[in-house]
Structure 1
Amino acid sequence: MRAISAPVLLVYGDADSIPSAHAAEFFALLGGGLRDAGWDGSGRPASQLAILPGRTHYDIASAPELATVVDGFLPVS
């Protein structure tokens, strides 16, 4: 996982069978959540983790908040 150089967006539901702690561990393998990003955000990792409240893998794809999360992750062209 640490060898992946492309930014990755991990999206999980907090009501799913995958514990949020496991999602955070996966995010850490991508370099996320290991240190403070700093007041200017310069230490922010390229990858992101989103845990959507009240969602499972059954309904996360139709969650309205998913579009907002993805839109915020994709680069502006």
Structure 2
Amino acid sequence: MRWQVQEAKQRFSEVLRAAESGEPQIVTKHGEEIAVVIDIAEYRRLRGEAVGFMDYLRAGPHLDDDLPIERPRDEPREIDLAG
């Protein structure tokens, strides 16, 4: 996504949310690209810094909280452990 400086300032929270979800946000001034806002884990990866496990997970795609999880409702099978 591309943002003019003024719009990026007005909608900074939205810019940050999009960057956090893994979409680099390009900021322009007078039509010229001047900056990019990226997720901190991606920044650290680009710098060659070690990324912690939690940062790695946070940098991944965000999943909806309402994912349908279907599990079989069957009774468990019997297993002969004495055998």
Higher relative contact order (CA 8 A, sep 6+): 1
Per the normalisation by structure 1, the TM-score is: 0.28
Per the normalisation by structure 2, the TM-score is: 0.27
Instruction: Report which of the two has the higher share of helix.
Output: 2
